[in-house]
Amino acid sequence: MAQDNSNNHYGKSYSGRHFNQNKKKVKEQGHFNNKRDNNKNNEQKSYKTLKDSSIESPKLDTPNCAFCGEPIYDLPSAMCDKDTLSPIHFDCVLQRLNDSENLKENEKITYIGQGRFAVAYFENPHDLRHFKIQRIIEWEDQEKKAEWRDEIALKFSRTK
């Protein structure tokens, strides 16, 4: 006589078509056994609610660069003019520094934060992890604050 193995030590076992039929019924009822299916459904819901939400990103002005005259579309990454404190493209400042500084072989100008640049010496120009700072160039005065930066901060730090 054949032995009944339907009750093993894990509980009742399902095999073959019975398991697949039960799985289909569960999916039709809206319950998910599969974590991947459940996460996929949650991602779709959250995307729809995020897309339909009324959160607006702040609109920023697009002033013209004091050096090149082109509009500045990425105002938060702009630098200040030393004299007038008007916004300048970061790339325009970098270009002006590269033109005005007498760079030696294996030296590059890099931004080090807080409105400062450094002339860095790279022993191996292919390895940008190892360098020595030769001199620091103070581009923006920490004592002077530009009004356009305050406007950006107010727009982005506002909460409702």
Tell me: pLDDT of 5 over 70: no
Buried b (16+ CB within 10 A) or exposed e, 130-140: ebeeeeebebb
What Rg value do the Cα atoms of the chain yield, rounded? 31
Band (pLDDT 50/70/90 cuts) for residue 148 is confident
Tell me: pLDDT of 128 over 90: no
Which among 82, 91, 92 is positioned nearest to 146, based on CA atoms?
82
Instruction: Evaluate whether 100 touches 88 at the Cβ level (below 8 Å).
Output: no
Band (pLDDT 50/70/90 cuts) for residue 99 is very high
- Count CB atoms within 10 A of the CB of residue 79: 23
Percent of the chain with pLDDT over 90: 34
In the chain, where are the structural domains located?
13-50, 75-156
The torsion of the CA quartet 58, 74, 153, 94, rounded to 10 degrees, works out to: 180
Q: Helix count (H) and strand count (E) of the chain?
A: 4, 7
Burial of 89 (0-12, 13-18, 19+ CB in 10 A): buried
| Whether pTM exceeds 0.85 | no
Burial of 35 (0-12, 13-18, 19+ CB in 10 A): exposed
Largest CA distance in the chain: 99
